[in-house]
Amino acid sequence: MKTKLINLFAITAIIVAASSCKGEKKNETEATAAEEVVEAPAEAITYIVDNAASTIDWVGKKPTENHTGTISIAKGKVKTQDGKIQSGSFVIDMTSINVTDLEGDQKAGLEGHLKGEGEGKEDHFFNVAKFPNASFEVTGISEKEGKTVIDGNLTIKGIKKNISFPASTSVEGNTMTLNSEVFTINRTDWGVNYGSKSVFENLGDKFILDDIELKVSLKANKA
């Protein structure tokens, strides 16, 4: 009996640990009021974003499944001094929303829903006909716990909020790269409310989590 109880406690602990890891939010951001954009010194070096090599990976979640995808970074520039970012901004092409975990009609259907295609569904998610672009502007750079942290104004659907996320940057020759860690935003801070339990009642298990995981991968070439 004692052995059975020990085994039961062990199994319970494993289940609890697994559940905790599953629900963990990666680098959760706190969306705050927009801040003033930082200006680089005159001697800073300018790099132009390579839109063919720059993208944002995303993960959206339901209680029983996740969906993954990408969004293209259309254009932008970054200024550095002594190999460190001083300022920067980039434009995100919301019309490029791509779903990578589905195929065929399911893929097309979810992409269309996210973009706001279909009568009455325009504003469920990103309404790209009205808001074809999102954007990010750097408002500050800091070092925390040995990591570079980028602060900036993220604008989605015309709503501008300040967020922070950890990233690594490097400059080699005429090329600058920026790769963020995975970080989490709350979509409702930008009015993306469809299927949110925090906004709508009586959804039962037919809800979509508010959290979206993002990862920025940016490459830029010396101007």
Q: For residue 137, tell me if it sits in a domain.
A: yes
The CATH number of the domain holding residue 74 is 2.40.128.110
Mean of the pLDDT values across residues 51-76? 96
pTM of the model: 0.87
Average pLDDT, the chain: 89
* pLDDT tens digits for range 66-79: 999 999 999 999 99
Residue 38: domain span: 26-222
The reply to whether 12 falls in a domain is: no
Question: Would residue 15 count as lying in a domain?
Answer: no
Confidence band of 83 (pLDDT split at 50, 70, 90) = confident
Contacts of 1 (CB under 8 A, 6+ apart): none
Counting the structural domains of the chain, the total is 1
pLDDT at 5: 38
**Does 11 reside within a domain?**
no
Is the residue at 124 inside a domain?
A: yes
